[in-house]
Amino acid sequence: MAEKKSNTNEDEEKKVKVSIQYCAGCGYAAKFNIAKDLLEERFPDQLDIVGNKDADKTDNFEISVNGKLVHSKKTKNQGFLTVDNAEAEEAVCQAIMDAFK
């Protein structure tokens, strides 16, 4: 019996795209890593997470799911995505689950 090979491109297309834009000049790289780890733990091998660093001090920490802004520290006053921010975690995770539908 022939072995079925996984199509990597097809697997990548099924992943939800998550973009995290953050202020590198503000020291938010650690906050990006915390958010990335949290989402990867909740959705193992299901997300394509990309971090976008702002070069200047912007105070941005924004999360988009498939191109739709779902979280913003700066414009929506939602803080950072951490385990201590249950409301933000639930909203972002719900947006990801909706993207799978």
How confident is the model at residue 1, as a pLDDT?
46
Q: How many domains does the chain divide into?
A: 1
Domain assignment present for residue 40? The answer is: yes
The tokens for 92 are: 């972002």
pLDDT band at 8 (very low <50, low <70, confident <90, very high): low
Q: Which domain holds residue 79?
A: 16-99
The CATH number of whichever domain residue 82 belongs to comes to: 3.40.30.10
Average of pLDDT values for 41-54?
97
Q: Which of 10-14, 25-29, 43-47, 62-66 has the lowest mean pLDDT?
A: 10-14
What does the DSSP 8-state code read for residue 32? H
